[in-house]
Structure 1
Amino acid sequence: MARVLIAGESWITQSTHIKGVDSFVTSSYVEGVAPLRTALTSRGHEVAHLPAHLVPSDFPDDRAALEAYDVVVLSDIGANSVQLAPSVFEGARPGGDRLAALRDWVDAGGGLLMVGGYLSFTGFEAKAAYRNTVLHEVLPVDLLPEDDRVELPAGARGQVTADHPALGGVDGEWPLLLGYNRVRPRPATEVVATIGDDPLIAVGTYGEGRSAVFTSDCSPHWAPPEFCEQWPGYADVFGGLIDWLAA
């Protein structure tokens, strides 16, 4: 059993309703973590979820705090949210460098998984911005300097390219995915699944630890229900990634 921290995979939406000359605003809070959390807990892993709005205040501040976990998953949460604690961003007081702490924790034996989305890797309008941080060196892939999203409205299927334990023994045809973040493999990277000509799942090592990427999403919209809710292989893939990262 691995102790897993998932950071991100939630959002708050505001909608403006205009009815003639009158208007009003409604707000809603949504979590997209359910498919991933269910898949991992079904395989016996202990999962803690840190929603996106709590990441700035509650993400582990140092390597010692990260020792509570075996694997950290960053999913659809940008570098700014991890780095800029309220005391730093709002109070202008020096604080810990959380991404440097995460890098050092992986170097000492931790496991890191980044899952794709609009605020993963480089992200929408380059706002995820991990390329400019120390965490970039930990990932098994190089990130693009520009918006890296590849939208696939007609869908495309992941293709297994290597027999690797990180795939969890998944078998058969994959359901369609509707997009991903484009990345480039590094020389020592093992690309174990592709989408189009690009990496979908890539794994590597960093110091004594391990890192992996899943460049599409773990929930809608890039991961339709047929992929993240109805496909048995979903739990195989993400369970295999966590097992490998925690080994």
Structure 2
Amino acid sequence: MVDNYSKLAALVKRPRHHLWRAMTRAPRIWHVGNWCIHLGAKYVESPFESPSKDVELLNYAQPFVDALRTLSGAEVVSQPSWELYHLSPEAFDARLAWATTIVFADVETKCVMLHPDFFDRTRWGHAPLVFPDRFDLLRDWVRRGGHFHMNGGWLSFGGELGKGGWGRSRFQGVLPVECLPHDDLVESTAGYQVRCSHPEHPMMRGLEWSTAPPLLGFNECRLRADATSLVEIHDQGRWHPLLALRPFGDGRVSCWMSGASPHWGINFMRWRQYDQFWRQVFTP
């Protein structure tokens, strides 16, 4: 994990116009999500003992993060969703001040709309406990020129059993797709056919989608009228948006409705043009 907090804290103290001018420099990408704590095998050794042996902090989006780092001059910070949940308002502002691009993947909206202080009993009853709404701050960051991107997963968009919650959030009107109000996971062990609908677009230049390995699932979403779907995925007679784009103010929003890493993307990350694809998605 990379933590440039001291650098970020210095940035956030600058006047706001300096912060947005900084967004024209080399890419600074803040990636959140796709981390997990993996416990080892569990051994039931007696009626009273059942230890787990081994523990690992795992970033299962490491191939995606490595691809981001192939962008010329890029700085990449990758953090678990629980660190986003714990960020103070000042630290969240510092991240926004530093980043030119923000990527969320498998991040449910509770990590953005809640904060541990709301559950700290020592804080109860002394004074009103409120924070600036982080969805509003994120929307303003995009409007001023930022690039927000979301990758798919069980906790992205609508998510498993609606747990992602993005369609009910204050940020839902910024996304290029409309999230379903219920479980939106579409999965198959056989994989899905994809097609490029705008090969002339700079993000698609030189990519041979016919050679892309099969994706094992995606989040079903509806494309907004003012958005563009560059890549589509086929399921049961219908084509669905897979890579969607939309301008928002001076910024832009993009969404990849499948995984960039296991498990939906376990084959996709082996594509010979995997790094090139992500470089082109995140090239300003």
Q: State the TM-score, normalized to the length of structure 1.
A: 0.90
Which whole-Å CA distance do the structure 1 matches of 2:161 and 2:43 have between them? 27
Q: Return the letter of the residue paired with 1:195.
A: I
Residue 278 of structure 2 corresponds to residue 227 of structure 1: no
State the partner residue of 1:108. Answer: 144
Shift of 1:65: 4.3
Determine if contact 2:194/2:209 at 8 Å carries over to the other structure.
no
Residue 198 of structure 2 corresponds to residue 154 of structure 1: no
Partner residue of 1:214 out of 235, 245, 256:
256
Percent sequence identity over aligned pairs? 30
Which whole-Å CA distance do the structure 2 matches of 1:233 and 1:138 have between them? 29
Determine if contact 1:87/1:95 at 8 Å carries over to the other structure.
no
Q: Return the letter of the residue paired with 2:71.
A: R
The structure-2 alpha-carbon separation of the partners of 1:166 and 1:58, relative to structure 1 and needing over 3 Å to count, comes to: farther
Question: Unmatched 5+ residue regions in structure 2?
Answer: 1-25
Shift of 1:237: 1.9
> After alignment, is 86-95 or 183-192 more displaced?
86-95
SS, match of residue 146 in structure 1: coil
The structure-2 alpha-carbon separation of the partners of 1:168 and 1:73, relative to structure 1 and needing over 3 Å to count, comes to: farther
Per-residue displacement from partner, 1:15-39 (whole Å, max 9, x unpaired)? Answer: 6443563422354422112111111
Residue 109 of structure 2 corresponds to residue 79 of structure 1: yes
The structure-2 alpha-carbon separation of the partners of 1:192 and 1:172, relative to structure 1 and needing over 3 Å to count, comes to: closer
Q: Return the letter of the residue paired with 1:116.
A: G
SS, match of residue 172 in structure 2: helix
Determine if contact 2:196/2:209 at 8 Å carries over to the other structure.
no
Residue 44 of structure 2 corresponds to residue 18 of structure 1: yes
State the partner residue of 2:31. Answer: 6
State the partner residue of 2:155. Answer: 119
Runs of 4+ in 1 over 6 A off after TM superposition: none
Residue 243 of structure 2 corresponds to residue 201 of structure 1: yes
Residue 123 of structure 2 corresponds to residue 95 of structure 1: no
Determine if contact 2:157/2:165 at 8 Å carries over to the other structure.
yes
| Superposed counterparts of 1:180-191, under 5 Å | 180-191=218-229
Q: Return the letter of the residue paired with 1:222.
A: W
Which whole-Å CA distance do the structure 2 matches of 1:31 and 1:65 have between them? 20
Q: Return the letter of the residue paired with 1:140.
A: P
Residue 71 of structure 2 corresponds to residue 43 of structure 1: yes
Determine if contact 2:178/2:222 at 8 Å carries over to the other structure.
yes
Backbone CA RMSD of aligned residues: 2.0
Q: Return the letter of the residue paired with 2:44.
A: I
Which whole-Å CA distance do the structure 2 matches of 1:96 and 1:25 have between them? 40
State the partner residue of 1:68. Answer: 98
SS, match of residue 101 in structure 1: helix
Q: Return the letter of the residue paired with 1:42.
A: T
SS, match of residue 171 in structure 2: helix
The structure-2 alpha-carbon separation of the partners of 1:59 and 1:71, relative to structure 1 and needing over 3 Å to count, comes to: farther
Which whole-Å CA distance do the structure 2 matches of 1:59 and 1:6 have between them? 17
Which whole-Å CA distance do the structure 2 matches of 1:159 and 1:172 have between them? 7
Determine if contact 1:157/1:175 at 8 Å carries over to the other structure.
no
Determine if contact 1:168/1:236 at 8 Å carries over to the other structure.
no
Which whole-Å CA distance do the structure 1 matches of 2:268 and 2:111 have between them? 28
